[in-house]
Amino acid sequence: MGTVAELVRRQWDDHRTGLRDEHTTLTHHQVAAGAAARAALLTELMPDRPGSEPHLGLLLDNTPEYPLWLGAAALAGAAVAGINPTRRGAELARDIRHTDCRVLITQRAHLPLLDGLPLPGLRILVTDTEAYRALLAPYEGTAPDELVPVRPVGPDSRLLLSFTSGSTGAPKAAVCSQGRLAAAGASLVSHFGIRAEDTHYICMPMFHGNAVIADWAPALVAGAGIALRARFSASRFLPDVRAFGATYFTYVGRAVQYLLATPETPHDRDHSLRLGFGTEAGAVDAARFEARYGARLVEGYGSSEGGAAIQRTPDTPPGAIGRAAPADDLAVVDQETRRECPAARFSPAGVLLNADEAVGELVNRGRNPFEGYWRNPEAMAARLRDGWYWTGDLFYRDADGFLYFAGRTDDRLRVDSENLAAAMIENILARWERAAGVAVYAVPDPAAGDQVMAALALRPGAAFDPAAFADFLAAQSDLGTKMPPRFVRVVPELPLTATNKIHRVALRRTALASPDPTWWRPTPTAPYEPLTPKAREVLRAEYAERGHPFPGQPATEAGQPRER
């Protein structure tokens, strides 16, 4: 496909509607012209200097300025670091400095985040100001073909520095070249039959790879229109889809659960939406979404790093993600022995019979498009070991080669010497009709290993009924004997990262000291009962007797605000 710059230049002669939000409408030509003007400004602000990278940071909501600056960077031979506006203080400054940003594009609403931060030499442009418009004015009218880029542009030119979610440590900036981004867009266009007449609704944050790689890039390749929502809103989703005539969107994490939690109406199918593509919705919620809205959700697998991809085919069984992409040599391996795990075996009811040996880490043993992390050799070494690309994700594979997601390697539990994957338990608990969202995570057992804890966000108007929940568990034929949660925490909403993924670190930090209503089983077969202060003291004494710390600290000490 070549470069993203070529795709931006191709818009110049297209006068159809190309980019919209609730305030602005631009044709494809105007998008190309706006990108060219910003690229011309960039070449003045960031002349090529030895030892200085042409990197700019975007600290923006999903406004039209975001895709315009992406296009500008592509034309100018620069790279964009998407800066997460939910980061604060030293962490935010670290992200900007780590990616060597020389220019930061932001908006007035985010200026307070920068107050007092040590960012020497950084040029800050504030898009919604007269000063910004005046700075840009001399470059308006620049045609893309008139530009002299800061550095020569080719398929290998660095374009994105996409931060990982950072829920378990400092986020890493994955490198993505113009060629890889263009190829990813072309692959999705081919796979989903995306057309120039389509409109892509971007409601996931554009600082994250999902929105740019899986939504913006295929629209650019196909010549489709783009509609933006500044920040994800479940209540605005369907009105936006109708207003923009959206046909395609992407999602990450729990966004689908929030959509399903909105009140149903007789008009839920009155829209043009055809397809949603994303990760971590789960088979239960994907089926609920299609039944309610009449639009199909396709669960995929990929990452900002691009080291492994799984493609869904029409014969993919329920619950599976798909098979390895043709170019990949994917295997599920034991993390200790490096040996390939045996194929999964299922009972007639669909119960995974050999999870302990079948679940392992997904690796790519062949060539892959992973282009590295920006200035992070330790993370590179952890990702590339023994000549393989290690995804950090748990999977199992059936006898026909279909792959099933089982969670992150950090989400593995070991209960009574049996290995369990959090995602597998979550998929079962999500069937409970009262649950709007589910998160499963480990708390240390007083003696050894782990115990299963679940956080439940309930549907509007629902209450937690411990007996009804226990009856539900007993009726699930594929719920293994070690899987039922010993502890159930009822939360008003699940704590999320800025990319709508469950923030399990926050849940594990509070664990049994959570202020939320928590229920527990004193023995595996006992009824659920409230975890009272007295019960907590009994547990605390049991941990102390065995020389182990009590799992959890109060929420005020954990310092983990809920992010939406």
Question: Nearest CA to 3 among 207, 165, 184?
Answer: 184
DSSP class per residue in 480-493: -TT-S-SEEEEESS
Per-domain residue ranges for the chain? 4-179, 310-410, 422-558
- pLDDT at position 28, please? 98
- Tell me 315's DSSP state: T
Residues 6 or more apart whose Cβ sits within 8 Å of residue 400: none
- pLDDT at position 345, please? 93
Q: How far apart are CA 400 and CA 405, in angstroms?
A: 15
3-state SS, 506-552, equals: HHHHHHHHCCCCEEECCCCCCCCEECCHHHHHHHHHHHHHCCCCCCC
- Tell me 340's DSSP state: B
CATH architecture of the domain formed by 4-179: 3-Layer(aba) Sandwich (3.40)
- pLDDT at position 564, please? 32
3-state SS, 52-105, equals: ECCEEEEECCCCCHHHHHHHHHHHHCCEEEECCCCCCHHHHHHHHHHCCEEEEE
Flag residues of the chain having pLDDT under 70: 1, 165-170, 253, 417, 553-564
How is residue 490 written in tokens? 């009822």
- Spatial contact of 174 and 161, defined as CB atoms under 8 Å apart: yes
Count of beta carbons in the 10 Å neighbourhood of residue 136? 16
- Spatial contact of 480 and 420, defined as CB atoms under 8 Å apart: yes
- pLDDT at position 556, please? 42
Q: How far apart are CA 478 and CA 346, in angstroms?
A: 9
Count of beta carbons in the 10 Å neighbourhood of residue 275? 16
3-state SS, 346-408, equals: ECCCCCECCHHHHCEEEEECCCCCCCCECCCHHHHHHHEECCEEEEEEEEEECCCCCEEEEEE
- Spatial contact of 510 and 552, defined as CB atoms under 8 Å apart: yes
Amino acid at 176: C
Q: How far apart are CA 83 and CA 87, in angstroms?
A: 8
Q: Between the CA of residue 222 and those of 60, 245, 481, 508, what are the distances in Å?
A: 25, 17, 49, 43
How is residue 511 written in tokens? 């664990």
Q: Which phi and psi (to 5°) does residue 542 adopt?
A: -65, -40
Q: Which residues pair with 161 in a beta bridge?
A: 81, 175
Residue at token pair 């993203």: 4
Q: How far apart are CA 435 and CA 384, in angstroms?
A: 39
pLDDT digits (tens, 9 = 90+) for 109-118: 999 999 999 9
- pLDDT at position 423, please? 84
Amino acid at 194: I
Record the pTM: 0.80
- Spatial contact of 80 and 56, defined as CB atoms under 8 Å apart: yes
Sign, CA dihedral 289-291-297-298, equals: positive
Rounded to the nearest 10°, the torsion over CA 347, 351, 357, 358 is 90
Q: Which residues pair with 435 in a beta bridge?
A: 458
- pLDDT at position 563, please? 33
Q: How far apart are CA 23 and CA 227, in angstroms?
A: 11
Q: For the domain made up of 310-410, give the CATH fold.
A: Luciferase; domain 3 (2.30.38)
Q: Between the CA of residue 133 and those of 38, 59, 112, 127, what are the distances in Å?
A: 11, 18, 21, 7
pLDDT digits (tens, 9 = 90+) for 390-441: 998 889 999 999 998 887 777 778 787 677 888 889 989 999 999 999 999 9
Amino acid at 268: D
Q: How far apart are CA 207 and CA 166, in angstroms?
A: 13
If phi over 0 gives left and psi between -120 and 50 gives alpha, with beta otherwise, what is residue 277? beta
CATH 3.30.300.30, applies to 422-558? yes
Q: Which residues of 444-472 are buried (b: 16+ CB within 10 A; e: fewer)?
A: bbbeebbbbbbbbbbeeeeebeeeebbeb
- Spatial contact of 148 and 480, defined as CB atoms under 8 Å apart: no
